[in-house]
Amino acid sequence: MPLAIAGNPGRPSLLVGQPLLYAISCFASLGVFLFGYDQGVMSGIITGPYFRAYFHEPSRSKIGTMVAILEVGAFVTSLLAGRLGDILGRRRTLFLGASVFVVGGAVQTATTGYNVMVLGRLVSGAGVGLLSTIVPIYQSEVSPANHRGKLACIEFTGNIIGYASSVWVDYFCSYIYSDWSWRLPLFFQCAIGAILALGSLLMPESPRWLIDHDFDEIGKAVIIDLHGGDLNDEQALHEFDEIKEAVMRELEAPDRSYSMMWRKYKYRVLLAMSAQAFAQLNGINVISYYAPLVFEQAGWVGRDALLMTGINSLIYVASTIPTWYLVDMWGRRLILMTGAALMCVALVATGWWMYVDQAITPKAVVFCVIVFNAAFGYSWGPVPWLYPPEIMPLHVRAKGVSLSTATNWFFNFIVGEITPSLQELIGWRLYTMHAFFCACSLIFVYFLYPETMGIPLEEMDAVFGEDPPSDDDDGSETASLASKKQGWWANVTGQNRTAYSPIQDGE
């Protein structure tokens, strides 16, 4: 049974140490590549003449449903993914999500009408919901504390590469003068999904999941591989002991239900959910789903709108790279706050230029959208996927991340569904509305979000001022996060929060 779960750990690993970590991160990024690709692919094809003719010039409300129905499927399976991830393991859930996604992509490619397309989007959404929940969990559980942020941000770059790829595939396929101009971009996602499904069978299982399910020796072998392959590596053995100790502590509180999680970890759950809610309410999918429509609204026409979307997507990808290095230097809080401030300014400026409607408006809007996407790409893009699995304890991590991801998909659906109609109804005011949410997110982070940079997952309780779980401790957590008034910089970086000191051996 262990060999089936862990992927034949008896054979020597071809990769160990950092090469293995980066290989896992890059391969897991295919999961979020699919997420990004499927979000972006519709933005280009819905404006194409062959697509519109095939679907009989669909109304804006129909387009909104066709695009946003993906989030309904993702919302449902993201709620189930936590339980599936605990039962099947992280790796098998990854395989299941990729397989479901391939089926949905095939249905979209071979669609015979509007209802079949909606069905295909719904099935693809089910696969995306599984992938978007399990990939961040898997990533956080195989990454050491000092690399966790960087590897998660590399993963998010995979998401944006997926989005950018879909935009450019749409652009080049617009030169195909047949229905293949929109069917081919939809087919491409099936090929990537199949590669991920097959490749997931070669990836190691999460050592934390293995140890939590009594596969201690296999879990230890994976940890040793992640630390370089030396059987006597003290850091690897210490990490194994630390994880095992955390698992044993958490077994003393056997209730792992959603009700227990809400009762005991309500503050953490709300933080995780709010991070994902703001990631959508800040307005990114007004651009991701409908960028060509936004540029057409600003004055660009036809294929030029697609080209502007493509240029924007390349800058979007580039903006995600600095966070690889900054997230474990600046911390999560400072990145989120600076990103929110820049996004707020860019959205207000976008609305202003559309309102005044001058000759320079098309170019000004492109510039503002590029600034907005770049700010999102280095801040509210990657960090809300990193933060929830960091702050949730192991025994409820999958459930907590499941709820936070479901929150993302709920607001993702709302934004995707109503944006086309709001573009007609309120025009430029749509962008100032999302700017308001950016300002709210900055305030929330400043006052409520503790810093998690560099802290081992097993020691995250100390950040929230909470004792390890025990039989007679079912009270809610005491998140002693009051300010110590150490000045502006301490507030921004989180140094005014409850002091964290690593748990030493014997404590």
Letter for the amino acid at 224? I
The pLDDT of residue 279 is: 93
Cβ(15)–Cβ(26) under 8 Å? no
Secondary structure (3-state) at 427:
coil
The pLDDT of residue 98 is: 93
The pLDDT of residue 6 is: 43
Nearest one of 168, 429, 201 to 316, comparing CA atoms? 168
The pLDDT of residue 497 is: 47
CA dist 25 and 153 (Å) reads: 9
The pLDDT-based confidence of 383 (bands split at 50, 70, 90) is very high
pLDDT more than 70, % of the chain: 85
Statement: the pTM of the whole predicted model exceeds 0.85:
no
Among 199-208, 295-304, 400-409, 470-479, the range scoring the smallest mean pLDDT is: 470-479
Cβ(167)–Cβ(40) under 8 Å? yes
The single-letter DSSP state of residue 468 is P
| Cα angle 325-327-329, degrees, rounded to a multiple of 5 | 75
Q: Report the interhelical angle of 284-298 vs 60-88 (nearest 10°).
A: 160
Annotate 33-46 with b (16+ C-beta within 10 A) or e (fewer): bbbbbbbbbbbbbb
pLDDT score of 265 more than 80: yes
Task: Kindly report the average pLDDT of the chain as a whole number.
Answer: 81
pLDDT score of 344 more than 90: yes
Give residue 15's Cα distance to chain centre: 26
Q: DSSP string spanning 125-189?
A: HHHHHHHHHHHHHHHHHHS-HHHHHHHHHHHHHHHHHHHHHHHHHHHHHTTS-STHHHHHHHHHH
CATH value at residue 40: 1.20.1250.20
The pLDDT of residue 468 is: 55
pLDDT score of 487 more than 80: no
Q: What is the mean pLDDT of residues 286-299?
A: 67
CA dist 323 and 106 (Å) reads: 35
User: For residue 153, what are its two tokens?
Assistant: 């941000």
Cα distances from 263 to residues 330, 467, 475, in angstroms, run: 32, 15, 7
Residue 185 lies in a domain: yes
pLDDT score of 145 more than 80: no
User: For residue 234, what are its two tokens?
Assistant: 């003290």
Highest mean pLDDT among 40-54, 235-249, 372-386, 473-487: 372-386
User: For residue 464, what are its two tokens?
Assistant: 């929230």
The pLDDT of residue 254 is: 58
> Between 380 and 467, where is the model more confident?
380
Give residue 190's Cα distance to chain centre: 20
Residue 216 lies in a domain: yes
Location of structure tokens 């998660």: 152
Location of structure tokens 């946003």: 68
Residue 504 lies in a domain: no
Secondary structure (3-state) at 424:
helix
pLDDT score of 499 more than 50: no
CA dist 332 and 340 (Å) reads: 12
Nearest one of 190, 193, 196 to 138, comparing CA atoms? 196
The single-letter DSSP state of residue 46 is T
CB-based contacts of 240, cutoff 8 Å, min separation 6:
207, 211, 216, 219, 220, 223
CA dist 307 and 310 (Å) reads: 5
pLDDT score of 476 more than 60: no
Q: What is the mean pLDDT of residues 460-471?
A: 68
Q: What is the mean pLDDT of residues 144-150?
A: 72
The pLDDT-based confidence of 231 (bands split at 50, 70, 90) is confident
Q: DSSP string spanning 337-357?
A: HHHHHHHHHHHHHHHHHHHH-
The pLDDT of residue 156 is: 83
pLDDT score of 457 more than 60: yes
CB-based contacts of 385, cutoff 8 Å, min separation 6:
32, 132, 136, 152, 155, 156
> Between 450 and 425, where is the model more confident?
450
Secondary structure (3-state) at 243:
helix
The pLDDT-based confidence of 337 (bands split at 50, 70, 90) is very high
Secondary structure (3-state) at 208:
helix
pLDDT score of 213 more than 80: yes
The pLDDT of residue 13 is: 58
The pLDDT of residue 7 is: 46
CA dist 468 and 275 (Å) reads: 25
Residue 434 lies in a domain: yes
User: For residue 415, what are its two tokens?
Assistant: 């934004």
> Between 308 and 347, where is the model more confident?
347
Could you give phi then psi for residue 504, rounded to 5 degrees?
A: -95, 160
Cβ(20)–Cβ(217) under 8 Å? no
pLDDT score of 437 more than 90: yes
pLDDT score of 480 more than 70: no
The pLDDT-based confidence of 471 (bands split at 50, 70, 90) is very low
Q: Which domain holds residue 294?
A: 14-460
Cβ(167)–Cβ(309) under 8 Å? yes
Task: Indicate the helix (H) or strand (E) that contains 277.
Answer: helix 258-281
Cβ(187)–Cβ(109) under 8 Å? yes
* Tally of structural domains, the chain: 1
The pLDDT of residue 313 is: 85
Nearest one of 52, 287, 72 to 179, comparing CA atoms? 52
pLDDT score of 53 more than 60: yes
- Centre a 10 Å sphere on the Cβ of residue 341 and count the other Cβ atoms it contains: 16
CA dist 358 and 144 (Å) reads: 52
CA dist 402 and 83 (Å) reads: 8
The pLDDT of residue 255 is: 64
Among 215-224, 240-249, 321-330, 333-342, the range scoring the smallest mean pLDDT is: 240-249
Q: For 452, how many CA atoms within 13 A lie in the half-sphere containing its CB?
A: 29
Among 44-58, 444-458, 474-488, the range scoring the smallest mean pLDDT is: 474-488
Nearest one of 276, 282, 273 to 433, comparing CA atoms? 282
The pLDDT-based confidence of 292 (bands split at 50, 70, 90) is low
Distance in angstroms between the alpha carbons of the first and the last residue of the chain: 36
pLDDT score of 39 more than 70: yes
User: For residue 222, what are its two tokens?
Assistant: 């994976």
Residue 507 lies in a domain: no
Per-residue pLDDT tens digits for 61-89: 888 888 888 888 988 998 888 788 888 99
